[in-house]
């Protein structure tokens, strides 16, 4: 892979890159579409990264369908799919980890210790292998994008990082490979996430600016249903991810909710309303 990339770059071609764990959906395809427009060549990686799953998490169960992914990638104009094995990425003796401090300890990092260390380690390895000029990530994993931006900046990585809007089902549910775990009943309950974001935006548009008040109202709304269990619900600054007592144009509402064993995440800017939310 690296040799191919070196040759292409030597010939003056610009490489766009979309890293994923596969089981592609329209969210991934939106990244590929943008990648296609922004590079001479488009590389897709598919790797279910064991290092970012905690003990007891869904590494084994994570959905995989390389054949279907291959067909979708071809349609999307992907030039190369890089799909290494876990043994190729982490051979015997592997001992080097990339760790971004601070913002990795909040939100998903608090619930999933070690998760972001796995993400930053694999993404920096993928950057070193694929040698992209530009890489595309979804706002769906908002904290992941913030962490990767931090890593790229701190480590002087010679590429551009682009974040793209969340792609949703028509009823509002953010697309996720993990949606395939949901039962019919949980699929209905999963609307809690996007509905909570909409409710918070509504409150803000009506003039409510106190984060505690907004979060209290949204929490009450979620907790009337017996199904969903809140992991976190916070209003944070888009870059530092620190809690914000008062809403402003940098405020993002981030939430993680359990439906049975399935943990779903979603987020949205609170101002100025839907325009920022949809990018």
Catalytic residues: 28
Radius of gyration of the chain (CA): 19
- Using rule CB under 6 A, residue 167 touches ligand AMP: yes
* Smallest separation (angstroms) from ligand AMP to the CB of 72: 13
Task: Give CA 246 to chain center in angstroms.
Answer: 25
Name the region of 85 (left: φ>0; alpha: ψ -120 to 50; beta: rest).
beta
Q: Which residues pair with 253 in a beta bridge?
A: 235, 268
Residue among 104, 120, 143, 176 that touches ligand AMP (CB under 6 A): 176
Q: Which residue, 8 or 45, is less far from ligand AMP as judged by CB?
A: 45
- Using rule CB under 6 A, residue 215 touches ligand AMP: no
- Using rule CB under 6 A, residue 79 touches ligand AMP: no
Pair 49, 118: CB distance under 8 Å: yes
- Using rule CB under 6 A, residue 267 touches ligand AMP: no
Of 27, 268, 51, 62, nearest in space to 178 by CA: 62
| Per-residue x/- track, 1-20, ligand AMP (CB under 6 A) | -------------------x
| Angstrom distance (rounded) from CA 140 to CA 27 | 9
Q: Residues 92 to 151: which contact ligand AMP by CB under 6 A?
A: 137-138, 140-141
Q: Which residue, 133 or 141, is less far from ligand AMP as judged by CB?
A: 141
Peptide bond into 272 cis (omega under 30): yes
- Using rule CB under 6 A, residue 263 touches ligand AMP: no
- Using rule CB under 6 A, residue 192 touches ligand AMP: no
* Smallest separation (angstroms) from ligand AMP to the CB of 193: 12
Q: Which residue, 62 or 214, is less far from ligand AMP as judged by CB?
A: 62
Q: Which residues make Cβ contacts (< 8 Å) with residue 264, sequence separation at least 6?
A: 174, 176, 178, 179, 190, 193, 256, 257, 258
Q: Which residue, 17 or 199, is less far from ligand AMP as judged by CB?
A: 17
Element (H, E) at 221: helix 211-223
Residue among 21, 83, 157, 271 that touches ligand AMP (CB under 6 A): 21
Q: Which residues pair with 174 in a beta bridge?
A: 168
- Provide the binding-site residues for ligand AMP, judged by CB under 6 A: 20-21, 27-28, 30-31, 137-138, 140-141, 166-167, 174-177
């Amino acid at each position: 892979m690296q040799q191919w990339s070196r040759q292409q770059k030597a010939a003056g071609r610009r490489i766009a890159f979309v890293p994923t764990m596969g089981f592609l959906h329209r969210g991934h395809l939106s990244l590929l579409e943008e990648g296609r427009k922004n590079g001479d060549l488009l590389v897709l990686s598919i790797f279910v990264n064991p290092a970012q799953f905690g003990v007891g998490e869904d590494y084994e169960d994570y959905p995989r369908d390389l054949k279907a992914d291959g067909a979708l990638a071809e349609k999307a104009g992907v030039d190369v799919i890089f799909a290494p094995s876990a043994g190729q990425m982490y051979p015997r003796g592997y001992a080097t980890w990339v760790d971004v401090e601070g913002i990795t300890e909040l939100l998903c990092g608090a619930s999933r210790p070690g998760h972001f260390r796995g993400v930053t380690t694999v993404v920096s390895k993928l950057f070193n292998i694929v040698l992209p000029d530009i890489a595309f990530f979804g706002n769906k994993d908002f904290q992941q994008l913030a962490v990767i931006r931090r890593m790229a900046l701190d480590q002087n990585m010679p590429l551009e990082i682009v974040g793209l809007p969340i792609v949703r089902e028509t009823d509002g549910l953010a697309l996720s490979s993990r949606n395939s775990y949901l039962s019919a009943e949980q699929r209905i309950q999963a609307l809690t996430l996007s509905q909570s974001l909409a409710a918070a935006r509504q409150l803000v548009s009506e003039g409510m600016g106190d984060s505690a008040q907004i979060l209290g109202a949204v929490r009450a709304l979620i907790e009337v249903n017996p199904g969903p269990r809140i992991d976190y619900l916070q209003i944070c600054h888009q870059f530092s991810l620190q809690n914000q007592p008062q809403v402003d144009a940098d405020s993002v509402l981030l939430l993680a909710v359990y439906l049975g064993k399935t943990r779903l995440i979603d987020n949205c800017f609170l101002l100025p309303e839907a325009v920022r939310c949809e990018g």
